[in-house]
Structures are given as C-alpha cells and as structure tokens.
Amino acid sequence: MSTGTTKLDVVVSDVVPINDLVTRFHFRRRDGALLPTFSGGAHVVVEMRDGQRTRLNPYSLMGSPLDTREYTISVRRDDAGRGGSLFMHRNVRPGMEMVISYPVNLFSLDLRARKHLMLAGGIGITPFMAQTAQLAAGGGNFELHYTCRTASLGTYADVLRERYDRRVRLYHDDRDERIELDRLLSSQPLGTHLYVCGPSGMIGWVCDRAAALGWPAETVHFEHFAAPQPGAPFDVMLVVSGKTIRVDEQQSLLEAIEAAGVDPPYLCRGGVCGQCETNVISHDGKFIHNDHWLSEEEHRSCRKIMPCVSRFEGRSLVLER
Amino acid sequence: MGITFRKETFRDDFTFRNSPEHIRRFPFPFHEDSYMYAVNIEPHVVGPKGSVLENLIDVDEHYVAEMQDRALVLAEDPLRCQSLPHMTLAGWDLLELLMEQQALGYPEHFTLTRDGDRWRWINRPLGIDDSFTFGDVSTLPYGPMEYITRQSQGDFCILDQRDGNLWMDAGMVTTQADWSLDFDIGMNFFEWHAPVPLAHEKGIFTRALKFLTNIQQGKPARRLNWTMTVNPRLDTSPENYHKWGPDRATVTPENVGEKVHLRVELQSFWRLPRSNGIVFPIRCYLIKMDELVTQPKWARRLHRVIRDLPDELANYKGLTRYRPTLVEWLSKLDDGSPTSPGFGPD
C-alpha cells in the first residue's frame, strides 16, 4: 500500500491563542463536507510548506469525536525545537489552505475498561480532551489527573473543570502540588485502565510505579510526544534507491529521505508505530536511538533504525531504503 | 435499472443458480495454474464495472435469498450472532459503513437519510423503512450490528485492536466455511488461526497481523480465499456438520457438475472510525462446476490447481474424499493448452 494515510484538503477556519505557549488551530474541509469520524486519542499529520521544506508534524485531535464539522489541534510553541511549532504559531492564519492526513489512532481507549484513569502532563492533555468528550457522551466512567507548570499554563484546565467538575483533578508545579501516584494507583477498582500522556519522564515514572504495584501491562497505555531531536548533520547512503543524502541539523532522517524523493511508509513520525523501520546494511559510528518501537536488544544490534526520530554520528551509514 | 433478485434456496431442494451475467462476474481466485498460500492482500478499491468489485460492498441477485437463509439459521441458533459488551460502538460503526456503502452503490434499492442523529433507512428489497436515533440502541429492533448484518450479504467479524493484537469480539457468522464464531469469540488473531496448516511455518500470520493492525481509515484492503462445498449450502458450520458433512460422500461422476461448488470468499478489512476496531466482511460466492466450466479457461485452470494441490491443503479444505472424482471429471475439459494470465475468463 502507498505511504501514510489518505490526505484531506482543509482550510484553517480559526486560530485561537490559549496562553503564552499554546495556540489552537481549527480546520474545515475545503469542499464544505464533514470530516471523517475519529476516535479519542487519534492524531493527524499536518503538512507545512515552509519555503523549500515540507514539515510533517503529528498532533492529537482534541475536539469531540461527535462533531466532525471541524478538527482542532493545540500546538505548544517550542522555541528550541526544529521549527514546526514555530511555523504553526508564526505563519498559519485563518483562511490558509493546508493538507492534513486522515486520523490515525495509536492511543486508543480500551473499551473493556470499567473505569478509565487518565494522567496528563502539560500539552499531553490534548488526546484526553477528545477521549473525555467521547466517554462523557457515552456515560463512560473516567477520572483525569492533570499536572501543569502554573495555573496560567494549564491549557484547558478551566474548560475541563467546567465540563467534568470533580472528575478532573489539577496539580500545579509552582505550588508544589504532586500526584500522589502510589496512593492513586493502589486505590482503583478492578477493571480500571490507566492512560498517560506527557513528558517522557512522567510516562516512565507512571509506567514503572504501575508495574511495581502489580498493574498488568495490558491495562497501562501511554503515548509519547517524542518530536525528532535536532543534532549534528550526517550523511547516509540509500542503497535501494541509489542515493546519498545529507541529514541537516534541524532535519530528521525520515525528512531527509523524503526530501530526496524516496517515500518510505510512516504513520506517527514519533517513533512508536513501527512503519518506517529501516534495515541497516553497514555503519561506522554510533546510533542515537530515540524511538520506542525497537527493543533494547535491537538498538544494541545496530541492525535497524527508526528514521523518524533517530540519528547517527560517525563516518558512514548505509541503509536498505 | 435495478437487480432482479432470484427466488432460490441454499438448503433442502437447493435451487440456487447463477445467471449467465453472474457467472461471468464470479471472482475466480486463481491467477495461475497452481495455488499456494501467500499474503495476497491488496488495496480494496473500486474495480471494473460489471465485476464484484464495482462497489466496495457488493449486492447481487442472491441478496434476498441469502438474507432469508440467514434468518433461518439465526432462528435455529442465535449464537451465530454475538457481540461482547464493549463492541456496541463498533456495531454502530459497521451500521454506518454498510448503510452508506449500500445506499451509494444501489440507490434504487437502498436509501439513507441523515439529520444529525436522526436517521432513516429504506431497504426496498426486504421491505424495510425504519427511522432511528444513531447511537441509541433502544430505537432499533436489534443491536446495531445484528440489525444491519441481517440486511447485508456475507459474514462479518468485528475485531477489537489492543495490545498489538486483534480480538474476535463480535460477529455475524452464518455462511461460513467450517468455523464457528461461538468457538472463536474472544480469541486473538493467532488463536483463531491455529488450525490452519503450513501458513504458520511461513510466518504468514505474523506479517498479516502487522499489516492488519496498521490498516488506516479510508484505506480498506482485501484478499480472496477459497474452498469447495458439496451442494450450494451457505451454512457449512461445525454446528451443522451432521447435515452437510455426509454430502461429501454423495459425489459421483454423474453429479459432479451439479453438486460440487467452488466457494470463494472476498475478504475485506476496514478500520472503524469511532471504536478504532477492524471489520472483516467475508463475502461468500458460490458457483457450481457446470456453471464454472462454461468458461473454458477456468475449467482448464481449476483442473490443474485441484490436481496439484498439496495433500495438507486438500485435507484442510475438506476435498480429500471427492478429489479424485472431481479431477477426473475436470480432466476431460483440459486439453493441455496454456491459460492466459490473470483471473478473468477469456
């Protein structure tokens, strides 16, 4: 099958600043039709035409899945990032025509759960916006614990409190408020599923404590918001397509491969779905693996790389692509 | 111009027949003169006019009779239709998919009108005109999956996706090739495929699962599978083996053409939007040998495929007992000349 997903031609219908760091973007279909239905936790890949470059960044859909007149995403500005969020904040205006992918869900609710326990950190709140809307509409049982740096950076905290009242609990870093994780995880009814989305440290902490407290792995769900990290430039030889390419400091390996006119499959562009997995033919140097797809053993073997988030430092790298 | 629906039976007097147009559109599954498993999955996109792929959900001249046969099966054995409690949302997804596709492909027979949650569904061949609230189970006479699959040809399995696997958690299965939903319900992809010979060793299921869990919304996929059935019986379930199993001993050189049927399954795979599940429609097409051999290319090729089939596969497909009789009968229609590439008749 061809790469990625089916595309949607959309127009930016609104741009709403939420706080110092986060702006919300609304998309409608250019032909006025309804957008495809989606499920809570789904993301779309937004294509950004930034001069000569095409950036493809995934963002969680945060509107209600029951309303498909428009899609909404929230983008946190990352001044030290590779520029995708800055492009969204600086260049995207209402009326602009853009292309986004069909929704893909790699952070799905387990509908068998008797209760959904959700833990969000910072901008990791966005998939829970859609999931709570979906669950609330169907009478689902959920509880959301949301940590943010300060009240003014608590994106949508007010909206969530107003919608769901005591089902939402807020924690502010500047007031030294902390989730009492062990107590929370030890006091859940049988059949509870745990969902966590936020910074890597938080995900690791929650998953480790859940495992230590005896939560079955099938009941713990997480979504890493791993954007590709910038790094030193490196050269790569693609043997199947017969090309040698340079990966710039601000570019991911996957983006460099695409810029050379080669179309590997992808879905998440964040190191979790496994679609762009690529075999290493030979190398002389060191891999910087940033993905959550390959096992530690595979990382050590140096025989595979996930080009969406991982990089390389050294003299030569030859890939089967 | 609409479809002329045949009055026919798939049991007792077995009056099932294909019209000449339906013989030509039969999805013959062999593109060459031999057969072995392969991951033969391709995008499920619209195919040529007049083929079974003209619409992504195919409705044909057997529609009304098949729905009547399904109702008879369900009356005797309600466990052919099951949906675990967490699968109701996926049932609504399927109802939307089948209503939209049938209304799109056959507007003279089906009409869907939507006003927010207020839906009206008109199914003229079955004389149904129902208004209901989408998402409200109490406004339909059955659960959403059962309601719409009593009005759609083919079996339907709805698979929940979790933990990197697919789980058979709901389905309507009345036209199956010797497998049981009641037995498989709740099993994962590897568990329900455990009885299939040879394919595990080839790593086929591991690759197929990887592909299926990555099926995307708006990008369905399909494959063909096949077996053979004695008498045009849709319900060849393990539950009713005592009814159809003995038929396999009734094949004689005189009745091969009338009794032996090639049974082809058009299987498709669709991501469901609200539940993030996968629906797997298994659409069964039957053609009797007398009908199939009206296309000389198919007669020659089927002879070669059945003759050279590995014994394990012949056994798994239940052909062993009557294979010699069938091969002998088909051999008279095979002059040894080459067959043209591709599936279609010459």
How do the domains of chain A map onto residue ranges? 7-105, 115-224, 234-319
Give the residue numbers of B annotated as catalytic, written as ranges. Answer: 223
d(CA B95, CA B108): 19
Mean pLDDT for B15-26 is: 96
- Could you tell me if B333 lies within 8 Å of chain A, comparing CB atoms? no
Contact A105, A15 (CB under 8 A): no
- Which residues of chain B have a CB within 8 Å of the CB of A139? none
Select from A1, A104, A218 the Cβ nearest to the Cβ of B43. Answer: A1
pLDDT at B262 over 80: yes
Chain segment B84-108, per-residue pLDDT in tens: 999 999 999 999 999 999 999 999 9
Q: How confident is the model at residue B201 (pLDDT cuts 50, 70, 90)?
A: low
* pLDDT on residue B47: 93
Contact B18, B4 (CB under 8 A): no
* pLDDT on residue A2: 36
Write down the domain spans for chain B. Answer: 20-43+51-331
Contact B264, B258 (CB under 8 A): no
What contacts B291, CB < 8 A, 6 or more positions away?
Answer: B17, B18, B23, B26
Select from B96, B219, B273 the Cβ nearest to the Cβ of A5. Answer: B219
Measured between CA atoms, the residue of chain A closest to residue B221 is: A1
Closest by Cα among A148, A149, A143, A78 to A117: A143
- Could you tell me if B123 lies within 8 Å of chain A, comparing CB atoms? no
Rg for chain B, CA atoms, rounded: 20
Closest by Cα among B62, B56, B57, B55 to B23: B62
Closest by Cα among B261, B329, B83, B277 to B186: B83
Mean pLDDT for B225-240 is: 94
The answer to whether domain A7-105 has CATH 2.40.100.10 is no
d(CA B207, CA B289): 34
- Which residues of chain B have a CB within 8 Å of the CB of A130? none
Helices (H), A187-276: 200-212, 253-259
pLDDT at B294 over 90: yes
Residue B92 structure tokens: 């609504």
Q: What is the ipTM of this complex?
A: 0.82
d(CA A171, CA A306): 35
d(CA A47, CA A99): 6
Q: How many CA atoms lie within 13 A of A45 on its CB side?
A: 21
- Could you tell me if A103 lies within 8 Å of chain B, comparing CB atoms? yes
Contact A109, A135 (CB under 8 A): yes
B163 contacts A218? CB cut-off 8 A = yes
d(CA A52, CA A263): 17
pLDDT at B207 over 80: no
Give the count of beta carbons closer than 10 Å to the beta carbon of residue A21. Answer: 20
* pLDDT on residue B36: 77
Rounded to 10 deg, the angle between the A126-137 and A157-164 helix axes is 10
Mean pLDDT for B298-303 is: 96
B216 contacts A267? CB cut-off 8 A = yes
| Cβ burial, residue B99 (10 Å; 0-12/13-18/19+) | buried
- Could you tell me if B274 lies within 8 Å of chain A, comparing CB atoms? yes
* pLDDT on residue B199: 67
B276 contacts A105? CB cut-off 8 A = yes
> How many Cβ pairs within 8 Å bridge chains A and B?
59
Closest by Cα among B2, B16, B1 to B284: B16
Mean pLDDT by 10 residues, chain A (321 residues): 69 97 97 94 94 89 92 94 91 97 93 97 96 93 97 95 96 96 97 95 96 96 79 94 93 93 87 89 95 89 94 95 94
- Could you tell me if A68 lies within 8 Å of chain B, comparing CB atoms? no
* pLDDT on residue A3: 46
SS3 at position A314? strand
Contact B271, A108 (CB under 8 A): no
Measured between CA atoms, the residue of chain A closest to residue B43 is: A1
- Could you tell me if B39 lies within 8 Å of chain A, comparing CB atoms? no
d(CA B177, CA B14): 17
Domain A115-224, CATH number (from 3.90.550.10, 3.90.226.10, 1.10.10.10, 3.40.50.80): 3.40.50.80
Chain segment A100-153, per-residue pLDDT in tens: 999 999 999 999 999 999 999 999 999 999 999 999 988 899 999 999 999 999
SS3 at position A224? strand
Chain segment B23-74, per-residue pLDDT in tens: 999 999 998 898 876 667 788 999 999 999 999 999 999 999 999 999 999 9
CATH number of the structural domain A234-319? 3.10.20.30
Chain segment B142-199, per-residue pLDDT in tens: 999 999 999 999 999 999 999 989 999 999 999 988 889 999 999 999 999 888 777 6
Residue with tokens 């075999």: A279
